[in-house]
Amino acid sequence: MEQVIQCLGAFLGCLGFSFVFRIHRRLDYVLIASFGGTLGWIVYLLVIPYLSNIMSSLCAMIIVALFSEIMARICKVPATIFIVVGCFPIVPGKGIYQTMLYLISYDQKLFIDSLFQTVGTALALATAILIVSTFFKVIKTIKQKDDHL
């Protein structure tokens, strides 16, 4: 039951993020993007018992990025619309907060541990987006070369 509440919270968080930052004017795109964020959170919850936080974030973001690229092609809009909203539940906000808290509390060991965990998670998110977007660009390039032959 707790996971269902977390997934609902992920959806509502993505929805609220979309409206506050006016990600897109069309409601259907906002709902699709929010669903993508929920999908990423579901993947995160499924793999976190088996993998580290960083690897779980990487897996979840790969799914969000794949979903975003596919939906961008279906809806004929930039994938960024879906990626920005979809990554919202996975972004290490708590980690950033704790890192700063340990910094101002002069707790050097916890600060360093939290810093590496937070930066690792952020790098995992960026790496996932890079992998998926590069994959789609390679596929597009191959298709364009085939069309010219």
* Mean pLDDT score, 4-29: 91
Angle subtended at Cα 16 by Cα 13 and Cα 22, rounded to the nearest 5 degrees: 135
- When pLDDT is averaged across residues 64-76 and rounded to a whole number, the result is 96
Q: Is the pLDDT of residue 136 over 70?
A: yes
Q: What is the predicted pLDDT for the residue at 143?
A: 86
**Model confidence at 21, in pLDDT bands (50, 70, 90)?**
confident
DSSP state of 92: -
Q: What is the pTM of this model?
A: 0.91
Say if residues 30 and 19 touch (Cβ distance below 8 Å).
yes
User: SS3 for 115?
Assistant: helix
Predicted local confidence at residue 26, as pLDDT: 86
Domains in the chain, number: 1
pLDDT at 78 over 90: yes
Domain that holds residue 110: 2-148
